[in-house]
Structure 1
Amino acid sequence: MTSKKQKILVGLSGGVDSAVAAYLLKKQGHQVSAGFMKNFSNKVNLKGSCPWKEDKLEAYRVATFLKIPIQTFDFEKEYKDIVVKYLFDSYQKGLTPNPDILCNNEIKFKLFLDKAMALGFDQIATGHYAQIRKDKNGFHLLRGKDTNKDQSYFLAGLNQKQLAKSLFPIGEITKPEVRKLAQKIKLPNANRPDSQGICFIGKVSLKDFLQQKIKPKKGNIVDTKGNVLGQHQGVFYYTIGQRKGIDLGQGGPWYVVKKDVQNNVLTVSNKDQAELFTKQIKVKNWHWINKKYQFPLSAIAQIRYRQEPQKVKIIISSSEVEKSKKIIISSSKSRVSSRDASRNLVLDRLEQEYTATFSKPQKGVAAGQILAVYKKDELVASAIII
């Protein structure tokens, strides 16, 4: 929480978490306003629920109840150009993206934050279950007090500038406490269920959503020995570890263990088979939130939201070390400027592969997802699984 009285713009989603966040800030004496973000409206009538109108109504009801001004920010074009495009591009490559993390990076804590700053606000606030701590070295992102609802994983891409201007008022309390407080003060959405589904899109069927751009393409479903078990409508619609939607009859349940995008082949396995699990993964494109740690790095990590923290050791892949050495040697011998040589080294380090080895096998690891790395309760870095 912040002690100095400030002008704060709270992102009201229509849910109880952001409503309680706004209430707590107002109770502290801050000058609080609210903003509702309209990002996706399901204009093509996809199956499922995209309740943005209902969300907006609830957000405005909360603002009226709390007696704070509210306005709507329309980011639908930017959301489509950034988040939706990222979804389609990733699935077409056979990856399993995390749109919620990108949505936080580019929409909530960039576009919304930029709007707030342009309007003269000191900070923004959201209803995330996470905490921010400041010391002489800058800002640190910590897990929320409620370990069951901790949402720090979704904030793994934030930087120092974003953290410096952000507040998470409910990060220091638990979900039951949030719900109890909302009921006590009679918030109009006190008993509203938590939202589900993709960030701002809701419960829209992912397959139907993807079929807007990625057309069905029949292919074989095979077991780990190559035996054909059935057919699928397109490997793009599946993710590693997925069980739902794979109805092959006997021998199941079946889980996706491999996607061959080039040949349009989906490989599945029984839950008892080892192909579902791996102790070692490759990652790249590190993002450091505060301090940059040296490798090898021993820490705890998550490969998905609400996963129990796993012990991990991360090293630079041996092949990448040799590649870096070759670039350094070739750069020093060739007639290139020091600026070009430096740029080559920077690009090489950005694409450099790292090996993360877990103490226990991990189930359903999917390329494209985010590895979030923690030191105790502090989220220190993230990288993309490849």
Structure 2
Amino acid sequence: MKKVFVALSGGVDSAVSAHILKKDGWDVTGVFIRVWQPDFLPCSQDEEERAAMRVAAHLGIPFKTLDLSKEYKEEVVDVMISEYKKGRTPNPDVLCNESIKFGGFLDYALNEGAEKIATGHHAQVIEKKLVRGADASKDQAYFLWKLTEKELSHTLMPIGHMSKDEVRKYAEENNLPSAYKPDSQGLCFIGHVDMKTFLLNFIETSNGDVLNESGEVVGTHDGSELVTLGQRGGFTITKKEEMGNVHYVVGKDISKNTITVSENFNNEENLTSSLTLTDSNIENGKYVCEIRYHGEKIECEVQDDVVTLSKPVLMAPGQSLVAYERDVCVGGGIVT
């Protein structure tokens, strides 16, 4: 019997994944992954682990706990904080998938004799290629762009062909303990947390000026590291003539601790149709690109890590650009 280790979080997606695999004849082991938790936030890991144990007991499968606290702190949290300090906007879910679920967890599973790992991602692995999930509103392929054939060849995503409603219905019909458990949202593994609040525990910031596009001071902010390009609000407008209007961040200067805002998000002077990538795994060619999770699909051409978009965009350095051929994710890169 083929052995698979399922990343069991206690949520409905991973529970249904484990149930499907057991029904299909796999030798299933549930694994709860423990990660570093900040001491200034309520810790829900013990509760989540108990929920995962209840799922494993219900399914009659072995249950293990894998502690990746050190790897999570060093390879996800510390990297994320370092990027924000530089004025960039990283995607922690991309880091988490690469280092934890398809890094430490995959290595552990293979060393323990498993042929595959499985996760509850809303995405699909078809012929060792990463494909969008069937439920467009829940599709998570964007966060998985760093996966290569090496990882995908050892990965199953059993619910990728299902809608979220179908997952819930399946869990209810099979009386899974997590059938009615709310979806988890927020920072990978940690859950819902205000990013500004989180970062203020690690980054020493100071108040600075908010400028309009003419360079005139129109307000104040709590720290340029805490805002990202395209962000609406998150600063204080003090100039009377500008108060009450909606402003967007269109520029920032970490060295001067200033941010620039505009009422016109789509001002061509703030946009670009050419982006340079680092850490890219996209081959040269023409694709459809997304510059943020569930963002607009934009035609693009990639040539030696330079991406030319069919329309100009406002893109924050550090964010992920992900390329697709139809529904197949062909890779991505980090915007410089």
**TM band (smaller chain):** over 0.9
Per the alignment, residue 311 of structure 2 pairs with 360
Deviation at 1:272, TM superposition (A): 5.2
CA 1:314/1:255 → structure 2, altered by over 3 Å: closer, same or farther? same
Shift of 1:286: 4.8
Letter in 2 for 1:303: I
TM-score scaled to structure 2, two decimals?
0.93
Q: CA deviation at 1:142?
A: 0.9
Task: Assess if the C-alpha contact under 8 Å between 1:129 and 1:150 holds in 2.
Answer: yes
The answer on 1:56 being equivalent to 2:49 is yes
Q: Kindly report which structure 2 residues correspond to 1:79-158, keeping only aligned pairs within 5 A, or say none.
A: 79-134=72-127, 139-158=128-147
1:186 corresponds to which of 175, 199, 206: 175
The amino acid that maps onto 1:243 is R
CA distance in 1, matches of 2:46, 2:312: 43
Q: Residues 167-316 of structure 1 correspond to what in structure 2 (within 5 A)?
A: 167-248=156-237, 250-271=243-264, 274=267, 278-288=271-281, 293-294=283-284, 297-316=285-304
What CA deviation, in whole Å up to 9, does each residue of 1:285-343 have, x standing for no partner? Answer: 3543xxx633xx22101111112322112334xxxxxxxxxxxxxxxxxxxxxxxxxxx
CA contact 1:17–1:127 (8 Å) conserved in 2: yes
Partners of 1:106 and 1:191 lie apart in 2 by 30
Tell me, yes or no, if the aligned pair for 1:50 and 1:202 is still in contact at 8 Å. no
Aligned equivalents of 2:62, 2:287: Cα separation in 1: 44
Match of 1:329 in 2: none
Could you say if the C-alpha distance between residues 372 and 218 of structure 1 is closer, same or farther in structure 2, counting changes exceeding 3 Å? same
Please give the alpha-carbon distance, in whole angstroms, between the structure 2 residues aligned to 1:62 and 1:308.
37
What 5-or-longer segments of structure 1 have no aligned partner? 317-352
Offset, 1:360:
3.2
Which residues of structure 2 form unaligned runs of 5+? none
- Which deviations, in whole Å up to 9, do the C-alpha atoms of 1:213-270 show, x marking residues without a partner? 2112111011111111121121111111112423427242111111101110011111
Q: Provide TM-score, normalisation by structure 1.
A: 0.82
Q: Helix, strand or coil for the counterpart of 1:120?
A: coil
Q: 1:22 to 1:244 in 2, by over 3 A?
A: farther
Deviates more, 1:139-148 or 1:161-170: 139-148
Give me the CA root mean square deviation: 1.8
Secondary structure (helix, strand or coil) at the match of 2:271 reads strand
Please say which structure displays the higher CA radius of gyration. 1
